[in-house]
A and B are shown apart, each in its own frame.
Chain A
Amino acid sequence: MLEIRNLKAEIEGKKILNGINLTVNSGEVHAIMGPNGAGKSTLSSVLAGRADYAVTEGEIMFEGKNLLEMSPEDRAREGVFLAFQYPVEIPGVSTTNFLKTAINETRKYKGLEPMEATDFLKYMREKMELMEMDKSLTSRSLNEGFSGGEKKRNEVFQMAMLEPKLAIMDETDSGLDIDALRLVSNGVNKLRNKDRSFVVITHYQRLLDYIVPDFVHVLYKGRIVKSGDASLAKELEVKGYDWIKAEVEAAQ
């Protein structure tokens, strides 16, 4: 589904990603871990198409298409979803209106008729029940005045509505207490299936107690320096990142 080959990227002349290789197949959950400054958020930004980053080398193929040549909206319409680390507050635009626009723009892109208003509301109600969302959140302005937990749950709710093929979760656990973390993870787990893949970016292992990954990769200095299964995350929890840094320095 996703094929990242020798990806190098920089921001304002500063090299952040130094040759990333990653293959994600349908239905797989990949966790990307790493110390601060390793390039985790840069990777998610480049995948979603944030303009601040310049890709200097390499390629990203998504279902056989060159992702780097697409605008952010086209990536989304092709099925890439980024759950933001800091979801943006948009006063005056309700979650309902926002999602209706997003879904209908995607349908338009695929040559489909817009969803009827009643069908949309029914669809939204179903997803809200599935995600155990409070009704009031959808009529309020998008993320405005939401708590940290509400914002992250709204991201997962949006994911449920848009049904992406690939979901990139950028530090979804940051700023969440244990109850909110459980709610958000439950939501994500309900969306796991054999056709949908996840790239879960996190600094801490605790999120991976709830969203159990198939693969764990350690990102350091803009490269994946170690890969393993879920047990690698446990090992990092106990030993921290220093042993990996030491391994990398020794190898150079």
Chain B
Amino acid sequence: MSTIETLKKDFEHYRAQADNSAFTQQRESAFVELQKLGIPTIKHEEWKYTNLKFINELHFQSSCLHTEAAKNYYTQNIVQTLKANRLVFINGSFEATLTQIEPEDAAIVITNLAAARIAHADMFSKHFGKYAIIEGQALNAMNHALMSDGAFIYVPEGKQTVYPIIITNISDASEVNVLNQPRNLIVVEKNAAATVIESFFALGNHASFCNIVNELYVGENASLEHYKLQRLQGEHYQNNYTQVFQEGNTHINQVTLTLDGKFVRNNLHFYMNGENCNTLLYGLYLLDGNQFVDNHTRVEHAKPNCFSDEKYKGILKDKSTAVFNGKIMVHLDAQKTNAYQRNQNILLSDEATVNTKPQLEIFADDVKCTHGATVGQLDEEPMFYMRSRGIPENVARKLLLNAFADDIAEKIKIPELVAILEEQIEKKI
């Protein structure tokens, strides 16, 4: 059965048991949208370099079933030294036994989405489905119609997380090709502050496809540290959509680290709905083999006096491919916008490819915006300079690549995360 037929069957199955609430109706219209759009092809401008044909070819099954190995894998791979609140999802289903909540963070709601829909119905209905765009977005529609469980984080007004919240999603493809569609909702209320890490693993010799949608709401004068850590060794595919909705005076520091991935497409969108926002978004991808990573970002300045700084860097080996598409949109109203964007890539092989496209769309007339992209090899001059001091070529290369990556590493405020990154750099370069 093709993946699409499976999805149809799954939806019919879901529809037969669902109530007639607004929630169900929303999902129903999302499914209609998915059927109308179909899976995008490379003829679609937004998917020009990113081929989704694997979705149909690989006959994924949306099964929550998973092996004991996945739990063990998780226990072996979490950073034990980092004290944190933890939520774990395996193939989209909530693993309550692996939940950890620190007593100091008792004021924060840290739970799974399915539970929150009932226990925190007001907050849920106020924010759920309000930010992620369904119209014209086939994969978002697919997630909305057939979502599995996910995380629900609610930081009440004036509160802040004492320890980071780590949401781990594991794709377990030990038995069949699996599709999972986690759905997260993170709400940081007025004057609150939170640190959230999304961590992705995959295991098993079959293929997996994780199609995740994140909605984040950051209230007036609140701040958010948000990290994404993607480690997907093997035949694992991911489409990761994140929509951040910011009120005025918010501060966001977002870092996306793609350290592995057969196929990763990140869609990261910020909408600044108030003045004096500070939005920092950084990314680093380290690719080898035939890995493919696509970062699509969209930073929307809707109100005046906001600042955004974006920097994505990549190191590519072997036959790997990276795509970067960064869009900064400055609305007519958004005077005195300061927006910066850079994408820098180092190719360590003749067969690696980068397609980069920085874009500015500016409708206001009093703004400062810059963007730029570079694709190149390691410079000869610094290499020779180092060698002429007795440093061998491979060590010199490592020093230079570490220096290149450090630029992003220094944006990470959690030393344990930096250590993971450094370890991966050491291993891959």
A-to-B contact residues, CB < 8 Å:
48-51, 71-73, 75-77, 81-82, 84, 87-88, 90-93, 97-99, 101-103, 105-106, 109, 141, 158, 162
Contacts and interface: CB of A to CB of B under 8 A. Distances in A.
B363 interface: no
Size class of the contact patch on chain B: 20 to 34
A90 B382 contact: yes
A101 B389 CA distance: 9
Contacts of A73: 387-388, 390-393
A102 B387 CA distance: 9
B402 interface: yes
A98 B399 contact: yes
A90 B379 CA distance: 10
A90 B395 CA distance: 14
Interface stretch (B75-83, B177-185, B403-411): B403-411
Interface in B386-429: 386-393, 395, 399-400, 402-404, 406-407
B381 A88 contact: yes
Contacts of A76: 387-390
A102 B399 CA distance: 11
With most chain B CB atoms within 10 A of its CB, the pick from A71, A105, A106 is: A105
A50 B384 contact: yes
B389 A162 contact: yes
B387 A93 contact: no
A9 to B, nearest CB: 16
Contact of B390 (A50, A51, A105): A105
Contacts of B392: 71, 73, 105
B403 A91 contact: yes
A117 to B, nearest CB: 17
B391 A102 contact: yes
B382 A72 contact: no
B34 to A, nearest CB: 45
B404 A72 contact: no
B54 interface: no
Contact of B385 (A88, A99, A105, A109): A88
A102 B389 CA distance: 6
Contact of A98 (B381, B389, B404): B389
Interface of A is mostly: helix
Contacts of B387: 49, 71-73, 76
Nearest to A109: B390
Nearest to A94: B403
Contacts of A82: 388
24 contacts: A48-B388, A49-B387, A51-B384, A71-B387, A73-B388, A73-B392, A76-B387, A76-B390, A81-B389, A87-B385, A90-B386, A91-B403, A92-B403, A92-B404, A92-B407, A93-B402, A93-B403, A98-B391, A98-B399, A101-B395, A105-B392, A141-B403, A158-B389, A162-B390
A77 B391 CA distance: 9
Interface in B346-393: 381-382, 384-393
A142 to B, nearest CB: 9
Contacts of A91: 403, 407
Nearest to A91: B403
A91 B403 CA distance: 7
B391 A101 contact: yes
B403 to A, nearest CB: 3
Contacts of A101: 391, 395, 399
Contacts of A48: 388
A141 B382 CA distance: 13
Given A91-B403, A92-B402, A92-B406, A105 B395 contact: yes
With most chain A CB atoms within 10 A of its CB, the pick from B389, B390, B400, B404 is: B390
A93 B381 CA distance: 14
B389 A93 contact: no
Interface in B260-279: none
A199 to B, nearest CB: 15
A71 B393 CA distance: 10
Contact of A72 (B388, B403, B406, B407): B388
A48 B406 CA distance: 30
With most chain A CB atoms within 10 A of its CB, the pick from B382, B385, B395 is: B385
B382 A88 contact: yes
Contacts of A92: 402-404, 406-407
Nearest to B405: A92
A93 B399 CA distance: 7
Given A81-B388, A90-B400, 5 more contacts: A73-B388, A84-B385, A91-B407, A92-B407, A101-B395
A82 B399 CA distance: 20
With most chain B CB atoms within 10 A of its CB, the pick from A81, A92, A97 is: A92
A29 to B, nearest CB: 21
A138 to B, nearest CB: 15
B124 to A, nearest CB: 45
A154 B15 CA distance: 72
Contacts of B393: 71, 73
A49 to B, nearest CB: 7
A49 B400 contact: no
B186 to A, nearest CB: 33
A47 to B, nearest CB: 10
A106 B385 CA distance: 15
